Amino acid sequence: MLGTALDSAFYHVPNVSGIVGLNWRLMLGAPCVPAILVMIASYMNPESSRWLMQKGRYQDAFKSLNPLRSSEVQAARDFYYTHTLLMPEEESLTGNISKSRSILSLVRTRRNRNAAIGPFIVMFAQQSCGVNIVAYYSTTIFREVGASITNALIAS
């Protein structure tokens, strides 16, 4: 949304000496601004308690989980739950569980199969309903209906 707002703001930028079409160049680069801000902000986020547990830093993991819960008892409960969920992962990484068995469990176990089918159906429906075309060409659609270029950009 911020990229689209910047596109609308850059539409009326005039050409400067030697640069013809400065407005469309700025409009093309404008969506990069939010992406760069997210990349910078991601380095300021603390590590998750799960990642810290994977690295063997259990005290740091509990310290990072504690402020997110109402009490230390809830933090300890979630801490233990995360630890028990990590144990099968570590077994599979050390080789105690064969990779073919873990991949086949995706197809053979009904709940895993259902968990894979659900997102597949949603992704297929999103791609086949045609909303992407409306999103990508909304400015053109508004323009064809009679809106001015500026109003079409804002409506998009």
Of 46-55, 83-92, 141-150, minimum mean pLDDT range = 83-92
pTM over 0.75, yes/no: no
Q: Are 40 and 49 spatial neighbours (Cβ–Cβ below 8 Å)?
A: no
Check the CA dihedral 89-92-97-103 and report its sign.
positive
Q: What is the pLDDT of residues 103-132, one digit of tens each?
A: 777 778 888 888 888 899 998 888 888 777
Q: How far, in Å, CA of 138 to CA of 1, rounded? A: 14
**Amino acid identity at 87:** M
Q: For the chain, what's the residue count?
A: 156
